[in-house]
Structures are given as structure tokens and as C-alpha cells.
């Protein structure tokens, strides 16, 4: 698309892709998914923090494909378990475990603990091929329920109880969860900053691409001026 900056969403999760595409609607961004490209090597998420993993995914994808990339890393942090499962949230019960198996393992680990405090944390990273990146972080605090409740969402949603709404994430509608969740908050912050983010991306684009983009912008402004005469 003319005048649009390409941005690849570095995830294979269709839900995340649609959520981010909807967020960026109305901005001069041409969103792409990994499915729009040929096979690329899988990123090894071996960072010790959500920020490290988010940056690693965004930076790796941007360098491989040669265009800006957006990635996120998120997970559940439980006080009584010393911050576990944390960055291992998706692999807490093994590489190929189901959501139900991860939930069962966590509830088993929580037996005997009266401290049920927990939080979902999310880090978004937008990187350009040359390396620099912008980071947005958010968290949502709640409690680990005694047993699963609700059929919505995914992962640990059925056991993450959110006191202000008196229900688990698994009992919330998509709209309700989007208003209070860790990822929803991070995406809102990104949306509020999007105009500045686009300026930052343009400044870090390769000189040839930046020239073409600025030329397209000037041509567009000239057409608008001529039409207003």
C-alpha cells in the first residue's frame, strides 16, 4: 500500500494477529503476519524476562525479513511460587502440554498456599531491522482461584480471578477481558503512542526506503493541495 509502513506481527497466534490488526486500523500501517512469508527459523525463547523474549522475537523477525516487526511475550506470575511459571508459562507442564494440563499442574503446586496473589504480565516490542526497539509493558493483578471457572479465553484464564469484576478471565467476554487484561492494557498504550511510534520507525528505516516513503508522502500532500484549489 502506498504511504503505508509495513509491520509484521511476529506470532503464529491468529487471535493475537486479529487483535493487533484491529488496533492498528486507521493508521498508515500495512500489517503482515508470518504466514505472508516463506518459512523462517523459529526463535528460541530462552530469555530470563518477558522483555528479553519479546525483543528477541521482534528483533530476529525484523532482521530476517528486513521490515519492522512487533512481538509480545507474556505469562502468569504467582507470588507463592516465587514468580513461577513466569517466562515458562506456556511450557510449565511440558512442551506439548494442553491448557488443561498446565492449569492442573499450577493448581497442584498451589495446594496448601493461602497467598493466592498473582499477575498476568505482558511486554510488547517493536523492532526495526537495524536493531533498535521500543517496549511497552503492562500487568493485571488478581488471584489464583481454587478451581477453574468459565469456558472463555485460553491458557490460565479459567483460574485467574479478577476481583473488580468478581469473575475469572475465563468467565469474561472478549470485550471485558480486553478492557482489563495485561495485553489489552499494553495494546492501548501502544495505540495512544502510535503516531510517535510511526515517526520513530520512519527515522530508523533504511535511507532508500525512507526516501521513497517521504516522496510518497509529498506526492500525496501535493495531490491534496491540487484538489483543494
Domain regions of the chain by residue span = 5-228
Active site residue 73: yes
The confidence score (pLDDT) of residue 144 equals 98
d(CA 187, CA 137) in angstroms, rounded, equals 9
89, 101 Cβ separation under 8 angstroms: no
> Per mean pLDDT, which range of 85-89, 196-200, 220-224 is the poorest?
220-224
Residue 2 pLDDT greater than 60, yes or no = no
Structure confidence by residue, pLDDT tens digits, 63-97: 998 889 999 999 999 999 999 999 999 889 988 89
Of 126, 140, 90, 144, nearest to 198 by C-alpha is: 126
Q: How many other C-beta atoms can be found within 10 angstroms of the C-beta atom of residue 20?
A: 23
- Beta strand 5-9 with 29-33 is parallel
Range of lowest pLDDT (99-103, 146-150, 164-168, 210-214)? 210-214
Asked if the 5-228 domain carries CATH number 3.90.950.10, the reply is: yes
- Split at pLDDT 50, 70, 90, the class of 212 is very low
Contact 116, 80 (CB under 8 A): yes
Tell me which of 46, 72, 73, 219 is the catalytic residue: 73
What span, in angstroms and rounded, lies between the C-alpha atoms of 127 and 120? 23
Tens-digit pLDDT profile for residues 119-174: 999 999 999 998 889 999 999 999 999 999 999 888 899 999 999 999 999 999 88
Amino acid at each position: 500500500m502506498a504511504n503505508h509502513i509495513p509491520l509484521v506481527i511476529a506470532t503464529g497466534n491468529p487471535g493475537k494477529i486479529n487483535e493487533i490488526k484491529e488496533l492498528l486500523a486507521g493508521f498508515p500501517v500495512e500489517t503482515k503476519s508470518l504466514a505472508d512469508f516463506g518459512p523462517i527459523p523459529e526463535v528460541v525463547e530462552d530469555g530470563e524476562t518477558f522483555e528479553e523474549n519479546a525483543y528477541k522475537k521482534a528483533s530476529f523477525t525484523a532482521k530476517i525479513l528486513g521490515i519492522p516487526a512487533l512481538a509480545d511475550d507474556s505469562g502468569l506470575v504467582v507470588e507463592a511460587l516465587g514468580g513461577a511459571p513466569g517466562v515458562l508459562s506456556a511450557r510449565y507442564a511440558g512442551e506439548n502440554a494442553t491448557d488443561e494440563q498446565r492449569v492442573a499442574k499450577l493448581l497442584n503446586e498451589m495446594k496448601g498456599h493461602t497467598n493466592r496473589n498473582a499477575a498476568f504480565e505482558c511486554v510488547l516490542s517493536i523492532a526495526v531491522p537495524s536493531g533498535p526497539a521500543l517496549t511497552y509493558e503492562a500487568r493485571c493483578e488478581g488471584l489464583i482461584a481454587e478451581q477453574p471457572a468459565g469456558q472463555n479465553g485460553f491458557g490460565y484464564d479459567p483460574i485467574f480471578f479478577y476481583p473488580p469484576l468478581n469473575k475469572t478471565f475465563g468467565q469474561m467476554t472478549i470485550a471485558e477481558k480486553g478492557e482489563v487484561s495485561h495485553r489489552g492494557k499494553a495494546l492501548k498504550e501502544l495505540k495512544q503512542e502510535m503516531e510517535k511510534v510511526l515517526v520513530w520507525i520512519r527515522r530508523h528505516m533504511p535511507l532508500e526506503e525512507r526516501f521513497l516513503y517521504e516522496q510518497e508522502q509529498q506526492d500525496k500532500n501535493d495531490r491534496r493541495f491540487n484538489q483543494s484549489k
